Chains A and B, each alone.
Chain A
Amino acid sequence: GENVEQHPSTLSVQEGDSAVIKCTYSDSASNYFPWYKQELGKRPQLIIDIRSNVGEKKDQRIAVTLNKTAKHFSLHITETQPEDSAVYFCAAENSGYSTLTFGKGTMLLVSP
């Protein structure tokens, strides 16, 4: 089955800096890669996703890039704000199953 590795496990930045979280996956047939944000005590919520026919997708301060050849994808957050502090999970589709395999998460702390 799919295996998803996520790095780093923790990331501390100053407000206004950029943050990058990276994930690799094993199933070359995977075509869908979402990112979820989980604030403390809350449920995971989808913030952005990308499909294999696209190399990059942006939504305001958030962007995701995908390199299918290398089987890795990344989340980029620019101009970070304290409210960006949360745990971020990447995931990859298990091709043919409509299920997701999640990375272990990155705790992002944005200091004022």
Chain B
Amino acid sequence: DADVTQTPRNRITKTGKRIMLECSQTKGHDRMYWYRQDPGLGLRLIYYSFDVKDINKGEISDGYSVSRQAQAKFSLSLESAIPNQTALYFCATGGSPKETQYFGPGTRLLVL
């Protein structure tokens, strides 16, 4: 689904570095989400946003921050990366009906 894109697709960084993962969508959806996926743990919600002025913490927001620059763009930042943030990160958008979510291709992050 090319309507939701994520950059970079792969990233290796070192402990203590600040990094940003970006998500863009052309679906025109107001709702956007960031998840992380770890083996055996499923998908866990980090942050979500229902419009550019609405940011909400999810289940596991500690160590992360987000920015909703525009309706189409939602960025996730790791202020000071640590090894246990090594994971696969997915952005998703919310469509219609309101609960339906569409995922981006994912960013694989390795923190050394």
Contacts and interface: CB of A to CB of B under 8 A. Distances in A.
Q: Point out which of A9, A32, A89, A104 has the most chain B C-beta atoms below 10 A from its C-beta.
A: A104
Interface in A1-20: 1, 6, 9
Interface string A29-50: 0001010000000111110010
A99 interface: yes
Nearest to B33: A99
Contacts of B105: 42-43
Interface string B25-66: 000000101000000111111001010000000110000000
Interface of A: 1, 6, 9, 32, 34, 42-46, 49, 89, 93, 98-105
Interface of B: 1, 31, 33, 40-45, 48, 50, 58-59, 90, 94, 97-106
A45 B103 contact: yes
Q: Point out which of B31, B40, B42, B90 has the most chain A C-beta atoms below 10 A from its C-beta.
A: B42
Given A99-B33, A105-B42, 20 more contacts: A1-B59, A6-B42, A32-B99, A34-B100, A34-B101, A43-B105, A44-B90, A44-B103, A45-B103, A46-B101, A89-B43, A98-B98, A99-B58, A100-B45, A100-B101, A102-B42, A102-B43, A104-B40, A104-B41, A105-B40
A45 B104 CA distance: 10
Contacts of B102: 46
Q: Is the interface of A mostly helix, strand, loop or mixed?
A: strand
8 contacts: A6-B42, A43-B105, A45-B1, A49-B100, A93-B99, A103-B42, A104-B40, A105-B40
Q: Point out which of A89, A99, A103, A104 has the most chain B C-beta atoms below 10 A from its C-beta.
A: A99
B76 to A, nearest CB: 16
A9 B40 contact: yes
